[in-house]
Amino acid sequence: MPGSTHPLGRPAAPPRRGGAAPGHVVVLHRWSDRYADYARYLDHTAHRVSYVTTERALTHLPSAQAAGVELVDSTENAKAVREAVDRLAERYGPPTRIVALQETDLDLAAVLRDELSLPGPGAEELRPVRDKLLMAQRLAAHAVPTPATAGAPDRAAVTRFAAAHGWPVLVKPRRGTASAHVTRLDSPRALAAYVFPADTDMIVQPWVPDRILHVDGVFDGRGLRFWRASRYLSTCLEFASGEALGSVEIDDGAALERIGALTARAARALLARPSVFHLELFESGTGALTVLELGARPGGAEVPFVWREVHGVDLMAAAFAHQTDTPDPTPAAPPAAGRVGGWLLVPPSVPAPCRVRSVTLPEDGPAYARSVPYRGQSLTGGGYEHAGARFRFAGRGTAEVEEALRRTARGTALVCTPLDARAPGRVAVVGCGNPPYRRYALAALADRVETALVQPGPPQWQRPYIGDRFRAADTSDADAVTEAVADLLASADGAGAVLTWDETLLATTAEVARRLNLPHLGPEAVRGCRDKLTTRQVLAAAAVPSAGFRHVHDRDGAVAAAGDLGLPVVVKPRGLAGSIGVTLARTPDEVGRAYESATTSAFPGIDRLAGAIVEEYLTGPEISVDCAVDGGRAHIVNVARKRLGFAPYFEEIGHLVAPWRHEPWADEVEFVVTAAHAALGLRTGVTHSELRLTPSRPRVVEVNGRLGGDFIPLLGRLATGVDQVAAAADLALGRAPDVSPRHERCAEVRFVYPPHDAVVHALDVTAAAAVPGIADAVALAPPGTELRLPPHGIVPRLAALIATGDSPEECGRALDAAERAVRHRLTPLPH
């Protein structure tokens, strides 16, 4: 998958005091929860710190402080990660360190260090803690008790091992995590039915029925620093089979003395340098200990949270320090004792992918922290973080915490059902817009999927398209919308999705999708589009052709910025919509007035952002480009020529969709649009971009993370046969959209305006709709509507006329005739 620079990246960091060149630390990151606080671990202003991550894992990264962020489909995609690191190196200098804190990323990080000749554990050093066969051999060589272990390339090898050690046996990957592909075989018959995983080296060990302990802590190269031992209340293998997994720290001093001694021996046998570690042990009924395996990384599940929250020690900070050669913040001795921690994971009742039908929790839940999926949420798996309900506990002793944990396990249930790939998808639409402009979109959506709706008031015109699939919620409240969307999806059998075509609700919808783990543009990417200042900064940093700009906070600053950029300039708000408050200013006086307009204009549902933007005026025709973005690849669906009016304002009075691939600017438009999407981190969804075809080259005006307005998606469907609403639904459901054109025609919308500010008393478009070539005539202003022309009103339109034809001229003739046929009765409004 192609990578993308995240919108809140920055081109460089200032040098450290003393003039030393800053380092460039590249972090491979995959968590979506707050497992690590990188900005606290390393000063991002003294070092260049870049991230290779996924859109899902972007939420808690310090993106605003990062040198750059590259998005990939998965940090396990070695090719994509290498390409991302190369791009970061090209922009910010060669990496001086590669950091990976999650177990699954350790191997690739080690390989990258070797390839780039960087310090830190390389592949060979990491082998004893990643290759379980070598690990067992190394432990045995150091007289550390460990289970018998052998390679298991085939059934014959397993048969020989079982003959020597007895049944049952465990067959597991030689390199693996979280008990994936770990299988217990009880007999030769079970072995005969077993299918070895493809392209995976396997080992075999005896089945050991003993209790399992885990020890987490920091090894300083010679011995243990701070460490804690815990006892699993079940096993990771049982968790993979659907049972709850819990762990409670041990407070038995005698047991801890024995555990600590063996842990230190195992760490010295396997670790070549200071390291955070996670060790698993067997404990027999007599208290004998056997080392199962050791990982050179922080423990998984809730271990890092419990350590940080209960004991005040950040294992992630220690691991980061070891990999960057910075001081280890771990205390040499444990803090004042007194608290015991524990954690619990409750999986769904059926394997992922599945949908949560009901969530049951204990009424007096003793956990101090929890993360529980919503009813209606889809669970797709992906490690312990996304494996179900998560709980953390603290108490005065092991017995107290264990009782709380077991009580929570008994009282918690995630009743789920498998997702049915054959069932129709259900899409929850957040907000629906005005019926004249969006009825066609909701109708097109309802023809394709089960459509549901979330909005503040009860449905009216939407009822035929949604049935009873409706929930009322304050659409500015992400918590309320999340609950409503999840509830609407709870009764669906197939895939679920959420989308909006309302600019004012885009940020809320993106946050809802993130919480419910649904495909959507990420919240950071949406913010990068919604804040036009951020858009300009990102495009400039990525060298995407755009407009010169200044961010100003007062009238004098606006005039000064215009002088720097050169008159004329465009003055605009940072975050409104519909070209509201956007003015072309040709003189310093006009710039001052334009600044006042930009900072006092309003658009319903959108908060004004601080200051205004002064931009260089881009000459040339303006176009809009609609894209379907799948896995970071932007597919252009249609291009519309924009008709502007009411200068010096930028009122959009019409749009023409016509064939464009033959145009001399076609290739450059595609290149610029693709670059803008990559720079802004737009990876999943539909977008609407606006460009100016300047004499030098196409340049970006803005990028929006939603369907185009003003009937443009409908024009595209009429002109090309590609339904962008259907594409939006497919992308939201995690499916590849069909964006292949069926034909090439022209479609144009023209908006009819009153000749002056007026109150509408009557409007009739019947005759206009009957004109040959007119596909639709839509009345936009019911009787009683007050229409004020720019700059005093918001889209003051009487009607929309939509024409189709084989050429722009044919559309124009039909629109001229239809406009003459529109009948209205108006009363002028005073100025």
- Tokens representing residue 142 in the block: 């150091």
Closest CA to 747 of 721, 780, 765: 721
Q: What is the pLDDT of residues 370-428, one digit of tens each?
A: 999 999 999 987 778 888 999 999 999 999 999 999 999 999 999 999 999 899 999 99
pTM: 0.84
Identify whether residues 276 and 374 lie together within a single domain: yes
Q: Which of 722, 744, 766 is the last residue of a domain?
A: 744
Q: Is residue 1 in a domain? A: no
Q: How confident is the model at residue 17 (pLDDT cuts 50, 70, 90)?
A: very low
Question: What does the pLDDT read at residue 638?
Answer: 93
244 with 329, same domain: the answer is yes
Indicate whether 540 belongs to any domain: no
Tell me the C-alpha to C-alpha distance, in Å, between residue 154 and each of 118, 170, 186, 209, 503.
Answer: 38, 14, 16, 25, 58
What is the domain-level CATH number for residue 441? Answer: 3.40.50.20
Which of 421-425, 645-649, 697-701 shows the lowest mean pLDDT across its residues? Answer: 645-649
647 in a structural domain: yes
Please indicate, yes or no, whether residues 246 and 330 belong to a single structural domain of this protein. yes
Residues 231 and 368 in one domain: yes
pLDDT band for position 647 (cuts 50, 70, 90): confident
Q: What is the pLDDT of residue 6?
A: 43
pLDDT of 264: 97
Does residue 200 fall inside a structural domain? Answer: yes
For residue 215, is pLDDT > 60? yes
Per-residue pLDDT band for 21 (boundaries 50, 70, 90) equals very low
| pLDDT for residue 607 | 65
Cβ contacts of 732 within 8 Å, gap of 6 or more: 427, 497, 498, 499, 518, 519, 520, 685
Query: 161: domain CATH number?
Result: 3.30.1490.20
Pairing status of strand 354-360 against strand 413-418? antiparallel
The reply to whether 281 and 371 lie within a common domain is yes
Q: What mean pLDDT is predicted for residues 816-829?
A: 96
Positive or negative, the CA dihedral 487, 491, 495, 501 is negative
Which CATH number characterizes residue 802's domain? 3.90.1170.50
Residues 294 and 413 in one domain: yes
CATH number of the domain residue 271 falls in: 3.30.470.20
- Domain assignment present for residue 822? The answer is yes
Does 134 fall in a domain? no
Q: What average pLDDT does the segment 687-703 reach?
A: 96
Confidence of residue 8 (pLDDT cuts 50, 70, 90): very low
**Of residues 440, 432, 503, the one with CA closest to residue 469:** 432
Residue 137 phi, psi (nearest 5):
-65, -40
DSSP 181-207: T-EEE-SHHHHHH--PPTT--EEEEE-
- Tell whether 218 is covered by a domain: yes
> Residue 14's pLDDT band (boundaries 50, 70, 90)?
very low
Overall average pLDDT of the 761-766 stretch = 97
pLDDT (tens digit, 9 = 90+) per residue, 471-509?
999 999 999 999 999 999 999 999 999 999 998 899 999
Shared domain for 54 and 112, answered yes or no, is yes
pLDDT(547) > 90? yes
* Domain count across the chain: 7
pLDDT band per the 50, 70, 90 thresholds, residue 15:
very low
Q: Indicate the residue among 582, 616, 650 that finishes a domain.
A: 616
Residues 705 and 759 both lie in one domain: no
The encoded tokens of residue 166 equal 């007895």
Q: Which residue segment(s) compose the domain that 95 sits in?
A: 24-119
Q: Average pLDDT of 231-258?
A: 87
Domain boundary among 377, 399, 418: 418
Task: Give a yes or no: residue 528 inside a domain.
Answer: no
SS3 826: strand
Q: In this structure, how many other beta carbons lie within 10 angstroms of the beta carbon of residue 108?
A: 20
Same domain, 233 and 346: yes
Q: In this structure, are residues 829 and 788 in contact, taking their beta carbons and an 8 Å threshold?
A: yes
For residue 619, give the nearest of 541, 553, 697, 679 by alpha carbon.
697
The reply to whether 576 and 724 lie within a common domain is no
Q: Say yes or no: 251 and 368 in one domain.
A: yes
| pLDDT tens-place string over residues 421-456 | 899 999 999 998 889 999 999 999 999 999 999 999
- Asked if residue 220 and residue 317 are part of one domain, the reply reads yes
5 pLDDT above the threshold of 50: no
